[in-house]
Amino acid sequence: MRILGIDCGSQITGYGVVESDGTAHSLIAAGVIRTHAGDPLTLRLLDIGRRLREIVDQYKPDEAAVEDTFHAVNARSALKLTHVRGVALFVMAEAGLPVGEYAPAKVKATVVGHGRADKEQVAWMLRALLKHQGDFPTPDASDAVAVAVCHAVHRPMAAHLGATK
């Protein structure tokens, strides 16, 4: 199963693509979509949507996962993040991809073992899990890979629970 993970941000949106059988994972791609802070939010959202479509077309994921909005101290930043999530969810729905949504603490707990891990711990553990020798392009890219791995680990249980309803 190929999974696209997305770590939303209005200036830097991370993406990661992993191949997984639910227990073993391999990295296919990791990168970021950068927008210009001086551009209007509408143009930044348009850029993010276009790039996400290109990523879906290029890597052909079977499913996607997006990190849930966290409670930010800055309400304005949280609102921008929510707009980016909306674009990501729209593009994934448009592509017909099932989408999982995970709280940041769940992603960290899945990858590292506890929900308060810092970005360096997440990246270190991902390198170990994926047998990845190099560094990730940015922390946003490694966070997106973590979201994809989280989905890979939790989707069999979610599918099982959904089948019992």
Which residue in the list 39, 47, 63, 67 is annotated as catalytic? 67
Domain map (residue ranges) of the chain: 2-163
Express each pLDDT in 81-138 by its tens digit: 999 999 999 999 999 999 999 999 999 999 999 999 999 999 999 999 999 989 999 9
Res 164: pLDDT? 35
Higher pLDDT, 31 or 158: 31
Q: What is the DSSP letter of 68?
A: P
Q: What is residue 124's predicted lDDT score, i.e. its pLDDT?
A: 95
Whether residue 54 lies in the annotated active site:
no
Cβ(101)–Cβ(141) under 8 Å? no
Nearest Cα residue to 148 out of 120, 115, 119, 111: 111
**Bridging pattern class, strands 63-67 and 25-34:** unpaired
Percent of the chain past pLDDT 70, that is, above it, reads: 92
The pLDDT tens digits for 142-165 are 999 999 999 999 986 655 455 433
Picking from 26, 23, 30, the residue whose alpha carbon sits closest to that of residue 2 is: 26
CATH 3.30.420.10 is the classification of domain 2-163: yes
- 67 classed as catalytic: yes
On the question of pLDDT at 12 being above 70, the answer is yes
Query: Would you call 7 a catalytic residue per the annotation?
Result: yes
Instruction: Say if residues 13 and 45 touch (Cβ distance below 8 Å).
Output: no
